[in-house]
Structures are given as structure tokens and as C-alpha cells.
Amino acid sequence: MKKFLKGVFLLYGIYAAIVISYFLLIADSSNLPNGYQGSAADPTTFMNDRQLELTYEYSKIRHIIFFLLTPFDWVFFLTILAVGFSVRFRNWSESVTKISLFQKGIYVFWLSVFTFIIMFPIDYISYQLSKSYGITTSTFVIWMKDQFIDFWLDYLFMVVLAIVVYALIKKYNKRWWIYAWVISVPFTVFLMFVQPVIIDPLYNDFYPLKDKELEEKILNLASKADIPAEHVYEVNMSEKTNALNAYVTGIGSNSRIVLWDTTLNKLNDSEVLFVMAHEMAHYVKKHIYMGMAAYLLISFIGLFIASKILEWAVKRFGQRLLIKGINDIASLPLLLLIISMLTFIQSPISNAFSRYLEHSADEYAIEMTNDKTAAISGFQKLTIAGLSEVNPPAIVKWLRYGHPTMLERLNFLENYDVKQTN
């Protein structure tokens, strides 16, 4: 195990050196493809020199952190297994109680606490980085509050996962993944239903739009899209960030379109209406349901593959790791490792599908508002507020972007009339 861990750390070190070298020395998102200079997508036309410099610096650092953290999770899970922490957590839980349900809860608690302790310095560095570039505005107290909410929500979901999955493994052995997927369908729908009314309010305050004049304009737009007015909400985000955002969440009677107050503060009414039309498109075009269907399909395939890899890995390495079998809770980090790796592998597919939906929403929004000027200026302001790259490296787009790049979005909008004529 020591030799194995040394090899893992060595490979991770080499990988980290490659990632850092690539983004600092090779990748260059400041150069636009030929033909885009001077267009609406050219950041030099709507950003000053200081904003450009901060954008390139911040983007490089964020990309490095992302590409270092993803395999870091895998190294972390492998270390927990190889050093024997997982087995110790299992033994501690079994020494406290003989009730399997409580054993799972205790095991997951120790695993969650250990994970929180290891990841806290990294999360804090990311928080300070975002704050130093003027993106995050949260005080340390507010940030810590969100960290603890994250911890307990993650713990709750992980306990449910552990109890259900390992009960199914114990009962059905090789077919557990099918029953786990079947149970995940109503569970996913339930989470989508309760998120807007129970989970989201834990982090922020939601309320109807305060600007009544703007509200009337949005209601008229919503009426054209046949959307109930109560689905439009404002959320207090200015105490946490300077970035702009809006999104659609929930399903059924709990579905709602949400605008950050930073978006309302920094965009004019025409720009806000385009953003609202974009979010209304998700509601009208049933993108939430399409996304849910895609997730369930991917999870079906993923659970099947994960079950096969888990069974093989436990047979191959279980004795060395002191894991008794696939129904041993000590194998949970191994299962999480497998799921994390499979999620990463399929991310280009899910991101591409998400980008397709987002582009479809852009098309709907410009057709509904017919205000190209507001759409372009709105996206440009969003780019400035978030210090977002206009033209990120291809690998970043594939693995990180669930939205089209700003180059693609702004170019589409600028040439919208031409495309419609053709």
C-alpha cells in the first residue's frame, strides 16, 4: 500500500506540473480567431485594459484549480482506502452500536468530518481568491455559514445513499444497481420539487420583485410565454457576490424563475427582459424535464458500469484493503471514487447537451424580445462582472462549460438577423 500510494502521489505530481505548465505557458485565450476582432465578441471592445488583465489572470487560476481538484478527489479516496481510515471508521461505528442503520450514520459522519477537514483549506483558498478578484463579497461568517449548511446537507444525502445502496447490495447482490436506479427516479423528482422551497432558502432570501414597474414588464413577457406570474422571484445575492445570474429551478407547482439582485442592479430593464426571456425558455421548452431525463439515462448506464467495477475492485483488492465484500460500508469511498471518475468521463457529453439547451434558450429569448442590442450588452456586462473568458481553451469548454462560450453567444446574437434572413 505504501508503494502504491507513492506511485499515486508521483503521478499526481507529474499531472499537476503538466496542468500548471499548460495554463501558464501554453494556453492563451486572449487571442480571438480570425474575423472576430472588433466584433461584439471581442473583449477589447467592451473591457478596459485592467479588466482584461484580471480576466486572463483569474481564468487561468480557476482552470488550474479545477483540473487539480478533480483528480485530487480520486487521490483522496484512494488514500482513505489504502491507509485504512475507511476500515477504522467502520470499526468505530460497529463498536458503538449493533444496529446497521446507526452504523451507517456513524460511518458517514466520520467520513464527512474527515473530508471536511481535508478540503477546508482548499475551499478557503478558493474563497480568498474569488474575494481578492472582487467576485465574492461574502464575509467570512456568511461563507462559513454556507459551508456548514453544505456539510449537513451533504451528510444527510450521503447517509440516505449509504443506507439505501448497501441495503440493496446486501439483498440483491449483483442486481442492486437496477433497484438503486429505480429508487433514484422518484427521489430525483422529489429533490427537484422541494429544492426551491426548502433547500434554496437555507442559503438566501427569496422574495417577489421589488421593482413594480419592471415587474409589470416581466409579467407581460411571461403572459406572452404563458407562464404563471408567481414563478418569478428575486434573490438577495449582493451580500455574497458581484457576479450576475438568473436560473430556472423546481418542477410542477414549485417551479420558479429566479433573478439575482445583482443582475437587477447592474442591468437595465431591456437587458433584464432578455435574461428573463432566456429563463422563460427553459420553462416553456421543458428543459428541466429534458435535463432530468438525460440525467436518469446517464445514471442508469453509470450505475451499471459502477457496479461491475466495484465488484471487480473488491475481488481484486478487497483483502489488502480489509474490505469484507461489496456490502461492506468500508467500500463506500471506493464506490464514490468510481462514481466520481465516471461522472468526469461523461462530463463532455452532459456539458454538450446543456450547451445545446442553453443555445436553444438564447434563440427563444432573442425571438421573443427582438432586442439584439440589449442581449449583446447584457452578455457583455455579465462577462465583465464575472471576469469570464470570452474564448476559453477547448478542453476547458468540453469539461467545464454547461453554457456556450461568450464568443459563441455574442457572435450568434450579432449575426442573428443575417441567419434569420438566410
Residues 168-212 have pLDDT tens digits of: 999 998 899 999 999 988 888 888 888 888 888 899 888 888 888
Look at residue 387 and tell me if it is in a domain. yes
DSSP 389: -
Rounded CA gap, 251 and 283, in Å? 9
Rg over CA atoms, the chain = 24
Yes or no: say if 78 and 60 are a contact pair by the CB < 8 Å rule.
no
Q: What is the mean pLDDT of the chain?
A: 90
Q: Active-site residue among 271, 362, 389, 408?
A: 362
Look at residue 223 and tell me if it is in a domain. no
C-alpha cell at 35: 474575423
Residue 173 φ/ψ region, left for φ over 0, alpha for ψ in the -120 to 50 degree band, beta for the rest: left
Give the phi and the psi of residue 248 in degrees, each rounded to 5. Answer: -115, 140
Q: How far is CA 266 from CA 195, 380, 384, in A?
A: 27, 11, 11
Name the binding residues.
Answer: 278, 282, 358
Look at residue 7 and tell me if it is in a domain. yes
Look at residue 106 and tell me if it is in a domain. yes
Q: What is the mean pLDDT of residues 299-322?
A: 93
Residue 230, pLDDT > 70, answer: no
pLDDT at 421: 46
| pLDDT-based confidence at residue 420 (cuts at 50, 70, 90) | low
Give the phi and the psi of residue 235 in degrees, each rounded to 5. Answer: -125, 140
Look at residue 110 and tell me if it is in a domain. yes
pLDDT at 308: 95
Look at residue 248 and tell me if it is in a domain. no
Helix axis angle for 176-194 and 287-321, nearest 10°, is: 130
Look at residue 224 and tell me if it is in a domain. no
Residues 18-28 have pLDDT tens digits of: 999 999 988 87
Q: Active-site residue among 279, 328, 389, 408?
A: 279
For residue 362, indicate whether it is catalytic.
yes
pLDDT at 87: 93
Q: What is the mean pLDDT of residues 250-272?
A: 84
pLDDT at 422: 42
| Structural domain containing residue 170 | 2-27+35-203+287-421
Look at residue 235 and tell me if it is in a domain. no
Instruction: Work out how many domains the chain is built from and give that number.
Output: 1
Q: Which of 137-141, 219-223, 390-394 has the lowest mean pLDDT?
A: 219-223
Name the binding residues for Zn(2+).
Answer: 278, 282, 358
For residue 417, indicate whether it is catalytic.
no
Of 188, 362, 376, the residue nearest 280 (C-alpha): 362
Buried b (16+ CB within 10 A) or exposed e, 47-85: beeeeeebbbebbbbbbbbebeeebbbbbbbbbbbbeeb
Query: In sequence order, which ranges of 212-331 are alpha helices (DSSP H)?
Result: 212-224, 261-266, 269-284, 287-321
